[in-house]
Amino acid sequence: MGGAEVVLSERGSLIVPVPYALFGELPTEIIVEGTLLVRKAELHMTVFNYALGKLLRKAIVDQPRLQTAINQEAATFAWKIAAGDTYYHLVNDSPGKPQLQTIVVMVEAKLSSFFHATRELVGEDAADSPELHTLKDALSSPPPPHVTLYTSDPAGVAGIGLNTVAELEAALALAGTPSPPPGLRAYRLQSLAIRGT
């Protein structure tokens, strides 16, 4: 996407940079439900989050060839990302964490195909290694393809992870209950036509 290198980080995470131009004009600030949100300092689609990266690093210790194989797969994969028209206002006020709000847009991307290819790479040795078996299981549930556009973090850096489709569905269900308890909630927005500042 835009010629940027897609490679595993030292923490085992993997992101695909996304250009602002994909989403047209994005105001630098918007107000949603009375909360000021700022445009993210950089846009990306998360492929492997930090939790998955942690499993991946353990697996690489057991099978060092994986790092090269996954980086090669990532470098040659067709990371075509198309902007969607489904937006969510995410709120996370889980106990023990700073409250954060974000706006994400769902995108079209072949995350499932990349996860399948990575599972194939892991699967060759998974039967002999608990770490590889755990990683292979985790790779069966790719995240919903999305990009965070806005955050309540004044620095424009912090986001809220959406790690699986089931997690998004649970957040939507929680938001639909009267007086929802603290935790991750997702509210569907009709559009991004929200009052800018």
Residues facing residue 74 across a β-bridge? none
- Rounded Cα distance between 33 and 182, Å, is 17
Q: Say what the pLDDT of residue 35 is.
A: 92
pLDDT, one tens digit per residue, over 37-78 is: 999 999 999 999 999 999 999 888 888 889 999 999 999 999
Report how many domains make up the chain. Answer: 1
Q: How many CB atoms are located within 10 Å of the residue 16 CB? A: 23
Is 9 domain-assigned? no
**Backbone phi, psi, residue 120, to 5°:** -65, -40
- pLDDT tens for each residue of 8-41: 999 999 999 999 999 988 999 999 988 999 999 9
Q: Over 80: is that where the pLDDT of 195 sits?
A: no
Q: Does the structure show a pLDDT above 60 at 1? A: no
100-122: b or e for each residue (b if 16 or more CB lie within 10 Å)?
bbbbbbbbebbbeebbebbbebb
Say what the pLDDT of residue 127 is. 65
pLDDT digits (tens, 9 = 90+) for 129-177: 788 888 888 999 999 999 999 999 999 999 999 999 999 999 999 988 8
Q: Identify whether the C-beta of residue 111 lies closer than 8 Å to the C-beta of residue 145.
A: yes
Q: Quick check: is 6 in a domain?
A: no
Q: How confident is the model at residue 193 (pLDDT cuts 50, 70, 90)?
A: low
For residue 87, the model assigns a pLDDT of 95
Give the domain extent around 22: 14-189
Whether the per-residue pLDDT at 100 is higher than 70: the answer is yes
Question: Is residue 190 pLDDT above 90, yes or no?
Answer: no
Residue 195 in any domain: the answer is no
Helix (H/G/I), strand (E/B), else coil: 23 = helix
* The most confident of 105-114, 134-143, 178-187, by mean pLDDT: 105-114
Q: Which pLDDT score is estimated for 124?
A: 65
- Residue 23 in any domain: the answer is yes
pLDDT value for 2? 47
- In sequence order, what are the residues at sequence separation of 6 or more whose Cβ sits closer than 8 angstroms to the Cβ of residue 20? 26, 43
In a domain, 159, yes or no: yes
Distance between CA atoms of 151 and 158, rounded to whole angstroms?
A: 7
Residue 103 region by backbone torsions, left for phi larger than 0, else alpha for psi between -120 and 50, else beta? beta
Q: Specify if 109 maps to a domain.
A: yes
* Paired tokens of 195: 């009052």
Alpha-carbon separation of residue 29 from 79, 138, 159, 169, 194 (angstroms): 28, 36, 15, 27, 10
Handedness of CA 183, 33, 37, 167 (dihedral sign): positive
Q: Where are the beta strands (DSSP E) in 3-81?
A: 14-17, 29-32, 35-39, 44-48
Q: What is the DSSP letter of 136?
A: H
